[in-house]
């Protein structure tokens, strides 16, 4: 049953699925935001606000479900600040996004002051009963908490909406050419604000997953850069939902695999193992952008450009 140096592949795959959830949720949210033509670099700030608001809500109410909702709401509030600044006041998106991250890191630390060393209510696995006992498959598919399934469902839903629905078509139109969409009578600003809020909610869920499930506790700086990895995965995925899933699993998988290889005493130098997730991300980005025309075609044409109706 054990392959490569005493690591059980079923256990490994189950682990990487859980480890990838925060970056996957944040990345699929950011994909929708970027598809609408907005570049929000504040993912890290929204995630950590989601982590702290989720934690505070869960501890206060004693319910993990409410915790996740609180996390989504907290990050949405951050996203709303970004939306007002960039869509109403037409501030520079890159600068505002960076500021949002710094603001989020500081504010989360302030909110979390009294919550260090407290344990949140547990989030259990979904009870699949006998299904979980199926060898290999049971461990991989039926041993997770609800958020793991939610993250995969979110990928499928975003893919379906963007591809098959009128809503998705409008969203993409706004992201490709806001002037054309505006000329057709679509409310560009309103659509973008809604997309930004959706992105915030997803980042918040991802952050709450970190503080409620993956590390069940609150400490300052708990997300430690996951938001930036999510941003990279959106580019890596060439703005395609299923590739976000692949990117998140690849990154999470290599991270989990390198730790498992170390724990199993693999005879590979540790430096290479630790570097590998980042190295492979860079490698794939290079390979993808080698074909310059195709890489550029996939980015929404109006990405990062502010829209003003008078033009």
Partner 1 sequence: MNRRTLLAGVAMGLALTTGGAAQAQMDKVKACFVYVGPIGDGGWTYQHHQGLLAVEAAYGDKVETAYQESVPEGADAERVLTQMALSGCNIIFTTSFGYMDATNSVAAKFPDVKFEHATGYKRESPNVAVYDARFYEGRAVIGTIAGRMTKSNKIGYIASFPIPEVIQGINSSFIHARKVNPDVTISVVWAYTWFDPAKEADAAKALIEQGVDVILQHTDSTAPLAEAAKTPGVIGFGQASDMAAYKPSPRVASIIDNWAPYYVKRVGMLLDGTWESTASWEGIAAGEVEIGEITDAVPAEVKAEAEAIRDAIAAGTYHPFTGPLNKQDGSAWLAEGEVAEDGVLAGMNFYVEGITGDIPQ
Residue 3, classed as helix, strand or coil, is strand
Q: How far is Cα 228 from Cα 218, in angstroms, rounded to an integer?
A: 20
What is the smallest separation between the CB atom of 225 and partner 1, expressed in angstroms?
A: 8
What is the smallest separation between the CB atom of 189 and partner 1, expressed in angstroms?
A: 36
Tokens of 299: 């980015």
Q: Using an 8 Å Cβ cutoff, are 194 and 76 in contact?
A: no
Q: How far is Cα 71 from Cα 42, in angstroms, rounded to an integer?
A: 16
Task: State yes or no: residue 279 binds partner 1 (CB under 8 A).
Answer: no
Query: Which CB sits closer to partner 1, 157 or 263?
Result: 263
Q: Which of residues 52-81 bind partner 1 (CB under 8 A)?
A: none
Q: Which of residues 14-53 bind partner 1 (CB under 8 A)?
A: 15, 19, 22
Task: Write the DSSP symbol of residue 5.
Answer: T
What is the smallest separation between the CB atom of 43 and partner 1, expressed in angstroms?
A: 15
Task: State yes or no: residue 119 binds partner 1 (CB under 8 A).
Answer: yes
Which residue among 214, 280, 285, 299 contacts partner 1 (CB under 8 A)?
214
Task: State yes or no: residue 217 binds partner 1 (CB under 8 A).
Answer: yes
What is the smallest separation between the CB atom of 84 and partner 1, expressed in angstroms?
A: 28
Give me the 233-262 binding string for partner 1, x by CB under 8 A, dash otherwise: ----------------------xx--xx-x
Mind giving me the DSSP string for 193-223?
Answer: HHHHHHHHHHHHHHHHHIIIIIS-S--TTTT
Query: Which CB sits closer to partner 1, 119 or 190?
Result: 119
Which residue among 70, 112, 199, 241 contacts partner 1 (CB under 8 A)?
112
Give me the 170-209 binding string for partner 1, x by CB under 8 A, dash otherwise: ----------------------------------------
Task: State yes or no: residue 232 binds partner 1 (CB under 8 A).
Answer: no
Which residue among 117, 127, 129, 135 contacts partner 1 (CB under 8 A)?
117
Q: How far is Cα 151 from Cα 271, in angstroms, rounded to an integer?
A: 31
Q: At what angle do helices 64-83 and 93-111 cross, to 10 degrees?
A: 140
Q: Where are the alpha helices (DSSP H) in the chain?
A: 9-35, 43-61, 64-83, 93-111, 137-141, 146-164, 166-176, 178-183, 188-209, 226-236, 241-263, 270-290, 292-298
* Cα–Cα nearest to 21, from 277, 257, 280, 223: 223
Interface ranges with partner 1 (CB under 8 A): 6-8, 11-12, 15, 19, 22, 109, 112-113, 116-119, 210, 214-217, 219-224, 226, 255-256, 259-260, 262-265, 269-271, 274
């Amino acid at each position: 049953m054990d392959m490569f140096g005493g690591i059980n592949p079923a256990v490994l795959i189950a682990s990487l699925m859980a480890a990838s959830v925060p970056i996957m949720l944040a990345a699929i949210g950011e994909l929708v935001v970027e598809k609408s033509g907005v570049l929000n670099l504040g993912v890290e700030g929204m995630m950590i606000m989601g982590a702290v608001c989720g934690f505070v809500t869960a501890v206060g109410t004693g319910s993990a479900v409410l915790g996740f909702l609180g996390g989504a709401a907290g990050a949405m509030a951050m996203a709303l600040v970004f939306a007002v600044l960039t869509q109403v006041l037409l501030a520079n998106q890159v600068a505002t996004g960076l500021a949002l991250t710094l603001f989020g890191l500081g504010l989360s630390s302030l909110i979390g002051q009294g919550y260090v060393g407290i344990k949140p209510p547990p989030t259990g696995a979904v009870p699949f009963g006998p299904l979980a006992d199926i060898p290999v498959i049971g461990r991989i598919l039926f041993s997770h908490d609800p958020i793991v399934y939610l993250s995969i469902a979110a990928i499928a839903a975003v893919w379906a909406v963007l591809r098959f629905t009128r809503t998705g078509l409008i969203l993409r139109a706004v992201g490709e050419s806001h002037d054309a969409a505006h000329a057709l009578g679509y409310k560009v600003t309103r659509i973008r604000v809604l997309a930004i809020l959706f992105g915030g909610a997803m980042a918040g869920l991802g952050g709450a997953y970190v503080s409620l499930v993956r590390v069940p506790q609150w400490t300052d700086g708990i997300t430690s850069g996951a938001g930036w990895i999510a941003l990279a995965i959106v580019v890596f995925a060439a703005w395609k939902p299923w590739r976000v899933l692949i990117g998140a699993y690849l990154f999470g998988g290599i991270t989990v695999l390198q730790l498992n290889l170390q724990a199993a005493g693999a005879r590979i130098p540790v430096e290479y193992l630790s570097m590998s997730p980042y190295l492979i991300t860079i490698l794939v980005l290079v390979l993808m952008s080698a074909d310059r025309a195709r890489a550029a075609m996939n980015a929404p044409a109006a990405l990062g450009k502010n829209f003003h109706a008078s033009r």
